[in-house]
Amino acid sequence: MDAKIHIEQLRQQINEFNRQYYLEDNPTVPDAEYDRLFRELKQLEEEHPDLLVADSPTQRVGAAPLEKFQQSKHLQAMLSLDNLFNFQDLQAFCKRILDRLKQDIAIEFVCEPKMDGIAVNLLYENGLLKTAATRGDGATGEDITQNIKTIQAIPLKLQGKNHPQRIEIRGEVYIPLAGFDAINKQAREHGTKEFANPRNAAAGSLRQLDSSITAQRKLTIFTYGIGFCSDENFAQTHAQILDHLKSWGMPVCPEIKVESDINGCETFYQNILNKRATLPYEIDGVVIKVNDLKLQQQLGFVARAPRFATAYKFPAQEEMTLLEDVEFQVGRTGALTPVARLQPVHVGGVTVSNATLHNMDEIERKDVRIGDTVIVRRAGDVIPEVVSVVMQKRPPNAKQITMPAQCPVCQSEVFRAESEAVTRCTAGLYCKAQRKEALKHFASRKALDVDGLGDKIIEQAVDLDLVHDPADLYAVTLQQWAGMDRMAEKSAQNVLDALQASKETTLPRFLFSLGIREVGETTAHNLAQHFRNLDALMQADHDALIAVDDVGVVVAENILHFFAEPHNRNVIDKLIAQGVHWPVIEAPSAESQPLAGKNFVLTGTMSTMGRDEAKAKLIGLGAKVSGSVSKNTDYLVAGEKAGSKLKKAQELGVKVIDEDALVNLLSVYVSV
């Protein structure tokens, strides 16, 4: 074949694969095939240097590192946005617009997620990417063309026809959360500094003089507007601009919506705020823009921000505050967790006065000291954490944090295994902190499910020295329960009834309730199915244990260790003597296990039945239910608001079914 035609075909094919992969999230060929075509093209271009063109996919990488960035002047200034934080401000924004226009008309707005990344300006001439620059001071930025070319989602050549001869396309380069985690994992492995957030990671990756480093980072882009455009009349509305961008192959955020008034904008804001935790990228608010470009022009600008657009920010997720002290909390397994006591600060919509410091390695890595000013982060429902120290504000007397030599609760010795990042109190159930947590676990919903026996009551029962182990719970009398704070005769009777009812349980629940380290609900279930009675499990040796699904060397050791402890055996005997019992587990038959060998993953919110219930039913039918999607997954059940797992399943070509389909499937075998 003619080399010229062959090269052209390869380029077209590679560009098409890029488009499927980066724009549609729908790769159609394996990576190996893509790489093969890419190498073939590269070789042909080497053999025919005269056929090389600037927009060939091979030209994305391989440029020599720069000494420094050149300056690049934008054809039209890159402005910033004013911020607002609540609905009242939004009403005021709208009123200012109407006042300025001196007419009372309905105004349409485009609502867009505010991407938390780095603004860039992409200049296309005759459809080809000419230069790319950072925002800089708004008038002039840094020329980062080489780095931008490594971002596969950005077309080197615009698709379609009819693009303006010269156009600046504006957008936000960002790192999806998965890519961010990967960079930081690598940094940890190499002992280099981690990035504090995806925005910093994007900025750090984009401002590399050596574009081969940028190429390794999973950067991508959403475009959201234009700057200079040689064709002044190519769109009447902002929504039309976005449609053009899409038709040229530029990524545009799929969440963007046109709303007919500010109430619609408010709903958009609330909806996207709720959805935020499931999005695969970081956003820090919503950008609201007047849709009609004529109105935009009439409204114009103040200082460096347009009057026709605004940022409606989410409550800040990071704030600065003072680290007043560090205390160590003792968890169920005895782990001592350092907890920061902070000067209270408003962050992520709530007041935070405690934050986790994870463990001593983290403290060392972040070099946190008492007296430091620290950055606290609270994202969604996760536990607030100390992200980093503001070193400029460190006082001379900042105090090093040290692990106590004794348990702060029971004064027993603490121990840190060489292979572990955590230090533990060695006292087991003798330590009141561990005992409280063990009892809470024992009574919890997925364990023996003692309804009405709340955390506060358990804590009192331990403080009053009424219970030393879970079996003692069954010996506490009505009077003793009733004598506790916030308890009356009626609630005490409820606790007694719930304890009585909890005696009728199942072997998986019982095993889970014992709180053996790393034996979660699924492992407990697998152990129960495998051994079918408690004695067989207690007599199992290492080899017998690792034969069980999901049980590895570490879990097997934990189980052996647990049952070797006379104290634990004694508690089990006492529980059985108190009347705790469970039905015999029948050997599974093929009919009772119709889903044997099938792997399920559940994600999103389910309305007919909860996720736990669905999981239990699937396991009951022999299926395996795991937490993450892999190529071994047979079905992903996607409920409402399914997020990254759904995306992954689609990427891997895993079969996705919705909740109705699951209910149908289950109803063939069991009542749902």
Phi-psi domain of 287 (left: phi exceeds 0; alpha: psi -120 through 50; beta: other): beta
**Of the two residues 84 and 527, which places its CB atom closer to ligand IVH in the complex?**
84
> In the bound complex, what is the minimum distance in angstroms from residue 166's beta carbon to ligand IVH?
19
> In the bound complex, what is the minimum distance in angstroms from residue 224's beta carbon to ligand IVH?
4
**Of the two residues 171 and 515, which places its CB atom closer to ligand IVH in the complex?**
171
User: Which of 636, 634, 631 is closest to 595 using CA atoms?
Assistant: 634
CA separation for the pair 176, 172 (Å, rounded): 12
**Of the two residues 309 and 619, which places its CB atom closer to ligand IVH in the complex?**
309
Phi-psi domain of 139 (left: phi exceeds 0; alpha: psi -120 through 50; beta: other): alpha
> In the bound complex, what is the minimum distance in angstroms from residue 221's beta carbon to ligand IVH?
11
CA distances, 32 to each of 29, 107, 145 (Å):
8, 51, 28
In this structure, which long-range contacts are made by residues 649-655, counting pairs with CB atoms below 8 Å and at least 24 apart in sequence?
649/601, 650/25, 650/26, 651/25, 651/27, 654/629
**Of the two residues 45 and 116, which places its CB atom closer to ligand IVH in the complex?**
116
Burial class of residue 175 (count of CB atoms within 10 Å of its CB; 0-12, 13-18, 19+): buried
User: Which of 552, 469, 541 is closest to 518 using CA atoms?
Assistant: 552
Contact 147, 328 (CB under 8 A): no
Using Cβ positions, the residue closest to ligand IVH within the complex turns out to be: 119
**Of the two residues 116 and 469, which places its CB atom closer to ligand IVH in the complex?**
116
CA separation for the pair 4, 49 (Å, rounded): 11
Contact 140, 71 (CB under 8 A): yes
> In the bound complex, what is the minimum distance in angstroms from residue 349's beta carbon to ligand IVH?
21
CB neighbours of residue 629 within 10 Å: 22
CA distances, 485 to each of 459, 491, 498 (Å):
11, 11, 19
Supply the angle between the helices 553-564 and 566-577 in degrees, to the nearest 10.
70
**Of the two residues 114 and 624, which places its CB atom closer to ligand IVH in the complex?**
114
Backbone angles phi, psi at 359, to 5 degrees: -160, 175
> In the bound complex, what is the minimum distance in angstroms from residue 138's beta carbon to ligand IVH?
9
User: Which of 72, 120, 90 is closest to 221 using CA atoms?
Assistant: 120
> In the bound complex, what is the minimum distance in angstroms from residue 167's beta carbon to ligand IVH?
16
**Of the two residues 76 and 592, which places its CB atom closer to ligand IVH in the complex?**
76
**Of the two residues 109 and 582, which places its CB atom closer to ligand IVH in the complex?**
109
> In the bound complex, what is the minimum distance in angstroms from residue 112's beta carbon to ligand IVH?
4
Which residues of the shown chain bind ligand IVH in the complex (CB under 6 A)? 79-81, 112, 114-115, 119, 135, 172, 224-225, 287, 306, 309, 311
DSSP string, 214-234: HHHS--EEEEEEEEEES-TTS
**Of the two residues 119 and 250, which places its CB atom closer to ligand IVH in the complex?**
119
CA separation for the pair 652, 61 (Å, rounded): 27
CA distances, 484 to each of 444, 488, 496 (Å):
20, 8, 14
State which amino acid sits at residue 176.
P
DSSP string, 260-302: SSHHHHHHHHHHHHHHGGGSSS-EEEEEEEESBHHHHHHH-EE
**Of the two residues 115 and 272, which places its CB atom closer to ligand IVH in the complex?**
115
Phi-psi domain of 299 (left: phi exceeds 0; alpha: psi -120 through 50; beta: other): alpha
Contact 396, 421 (CB under 8 A): no
> In the bound complex, what is the minimum distance in angstroms from residue 117's beta carbon to ligand IVH?
7
Instruction: Indicate the DSSP class of residue 316.
Output: P
> In the bound complex, what is the minimum distance in angstroms from residue 286's beta carbon to ligand IVH?
8
**Of the two residues 115 and 389, which places its CB atom closer to ligand IVH in the complex?**
115
Backbone angles phi, psi at 210, to 5 degrees: -100, 105
State which amino acid sits at residue 398.
A
> In the bound complex, what is the minimum distance in angstroms from residue 239's beta carbon to ligand IVH?
13
CB neighbours of residue 554 within 10 Å: 11
For β-strands 166-174 and 118-125, DSSP reports them as antiparallel
> In the bound complex, what is the minimum distance in angstroms from residue 253's beta carbon to ligand IVH?
7
Catalytic positions: 114
